[in-house]
């Protein structure tokens, strides 16, 4: 059927529509900056899925537009089209080809997922507590809680996250990671930051009035700077605790309120 007079116009139309799609895909900056190993893997997969999608969309649109243009008849045309009820070969093709593409996607996605979530032994584990409408990060190495999270570049970070009230969601677009924080359980999130910079943590699960403003920062530092910050914070905490004990004497509880350290000067966002 396609060996007929339709071939050339269809090809031209494919070039026009497909070309337009490619231009849109290439010249608009769809993909945000990359800040983690996870992001690199996800972007490659996204590229593949995107190319397949553009190809299929182009095919569908070309046929619809061509049919609407080429097979259109006037209102007083009372004839019927040819009584074609199907074509088994064609139907098998358009079942099997998508099936193969989807199988590739599924396997690829599975591999990316397991790579992205593989735990490293030297990972830095940070406790995250979310509540309406604030974040709190406790870095065990520094022994202090803070409203921003500081991590060294090049080392895997695992977040252990708890919620005090409703569901929240930890989302950093440059890392391509996202994980709900659910009251009653501890959820986990892994990322390998690769680039020094300050990134925005967004709450991505509707959590009430302040949902839109529930933000925090992840500050990815050079390992040396990070070490310096850890040492400094430890000292600060020790100092504070000593001061507190002196102030309170032997008064009541020994509970030490986690202190919030002032954020160190952050490197510029890439």
Partner 1 sequence: MATHAPTHSAPGGGHVHHVDPRPLSYWWKRAAVWTVGSILFAFAFVWLLRNFFQNTPTWDPQVYNAVAASFGAIGFLIGIGCFVWWWGWIRGRTVDAEDHSMHGATSWRDYFKVNTDHKVIGVQYLVTVFTFFVIGGIFAELVRTELAQPGQAIGDGETYNGLFSVHATLMIFLFVIPAFAGLANFVLPIMIGAKDMAFPRLNALSIWMLIPGGLMLAVSPAFGSFSAGWTAYTPLATQGGTGQTLFEVGIQFAGASSILTAINFLVTIFTMRAPGMTVWRMPLLVWANATTSALVVFGTPFIAGSQFMTLFDRVMGTNFFDPAGGGDVIMYQHVFWFYSHPAVYIMMLPGFGIVSEVIATHARKPIFGYRALAFSTVAIAVLGFGVWAHHMFVSGMAPWLRVPMMITTIIIAIPTGIKVFSWLGTLWEGKIHLRTPMLFAMGFIVTFSIGGLSGVMLGTIPVDIQVTDTYFVVAHIHYVFLGGSVFTIFAGIYHWFPKMTGRMYNETLGRWSFWLLFIGFNLTFMPMHWLGLQGMPRRVATYDDRFADMNMFISAASGIMTIAVIIFFYNMINSWVRGPKAPWNPWRGRTLEWLVSSPPSLFNFEATPQVVGGPYQYGVPGARHAVVFAPEEIGGELTETEKRTILVIANETVSSSTLIDEIRHRADEGLWRFTIAVPVGDGDQRAADRRLQVTLSVLAEAGVDASGTVVAGDPFAAARRVIDEEDVHELMVATYPTGRSGWMADDMVDRLRKATGLGVTRVVVRPDEARAPLPHAGVTRTAVIVDEAIGNGRLVDALRERADRGPVATVLLYPMALEGPGWTDEAEELRGAASERVREALDRLQDAGFQARGEVLDGDAAEAARVARTAHDAQAILVVATRGGPLGSDEALARITAAAGSLPVERIVVEAPTAPAGG
**Site residues (CB under 8 A) for partner 1, limited to 93-132:** 94-95, 98-99, 102, 105-106, 108-110, 112-113, 116-117
Q: Which residues pair with 163 in a beta bridge?
A: 130
Q: How far apart are CA 92 and CA 159, in angstroms?
A: 47
When the beta carbons of 164 and 245 are compared against partner 1, the nearer one is: 164
Based on the shown chain and the rule CB under 8 A, indicate whether residue 80 belongs to the binding site for partner 1. Answer: yes
Residue 41 found at the interface with partner 1 (CB under 8 A): yes
Mark residue 204 as left, alpha or beta (left: phi above 0; alpha: psi -120 to 50; beta: remaining): alpha
Closest CB 34 distance from partner 1, rounded Å:
12
What is the widest separation between alpha-carbon atoms in the chain? 100
Tell how strand 168-172 and strand 197-203 pair up: antiparallel
Query: Interior CA angle at 136 toward 131 and 139, to 5°?
Result: 150
86 lies in the site for partner 1, by CB under 8 A: yes
265 counts as binding partner 1 under rule CB under 8 A:
no
- Phi, psi of 168, deg, nearest 5: -120, 180
37 binds partner 1, rule: CB under 8 A: no
Q: Strands 134-139, 124-131: parallel, antiparallel or unpaired by DSSP?
A: antiparallel
Binding pattern for the stretch 197-216 against partner 1, x by CB under 8 A and - elsewhere: ---x-xxxxxxxxxxxx---
Shortest distance, CB of residue 195 to partner 1, whole angstroms? 16
Q: Is 51 in the site for partner 1 (CB under 8 A)?
A: no
Binding residues for partner 1, rule CB under 8 A, total 82
């Amino acid at each position: 059927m396609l060996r007929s007079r339709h071939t050339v116009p269809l090809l031209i139309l494919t070039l026009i529509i497909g070309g337009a799609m490619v231009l849109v895909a290439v010249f608009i900056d769809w993909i945000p900056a990359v800040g983690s190993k996870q992001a690199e893997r996800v972007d490659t997969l996204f590229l593949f899925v995107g190319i397949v999608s553009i190809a299929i969309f182009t095919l569908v649109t070309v046929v619809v537009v061509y049919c609407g243009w080429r097979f259109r008849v006037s209102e007083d045309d009372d004839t019927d089209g040819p009584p074609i009820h199907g074509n088994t070969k064609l139907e098998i093709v358009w079942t099997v080809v998508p099936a193969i593409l989807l199988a590739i996607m599924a396997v690829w996605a599975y591999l990316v997922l397991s790579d992205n979530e593989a735990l490293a032994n030297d990972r830095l584990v940070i406790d995250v507590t979310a509540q309406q409408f604030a974040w709190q990060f406790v870095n065990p190495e520094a022994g202090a809680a803070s409203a921003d999270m500081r991590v060294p570049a090049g080392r895997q970070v695992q977040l252990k996250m708890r919620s005090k009230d409703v569901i929240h969601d930890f989302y950093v677009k440059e890392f391509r990671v996202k994980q709900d924080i659910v009251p009653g359980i501890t959820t986990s999130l892994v990322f390998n930051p690769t680039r020094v910079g300050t990134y925005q943590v967004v709450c991505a699960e509707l959590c009430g009035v302040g949902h839109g403003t529930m933000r925090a920062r992840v500050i990815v530092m050079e390992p040396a700077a990070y070490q310096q910050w850890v040492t400094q914070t430890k000292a600060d905490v020790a100092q504070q605790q000593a001061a507190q004990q002196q102030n309170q004497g032997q008064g009541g509880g020994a509970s030490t309120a986690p202190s919030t350290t002032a954020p160190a000067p952050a490197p510029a966002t890439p």
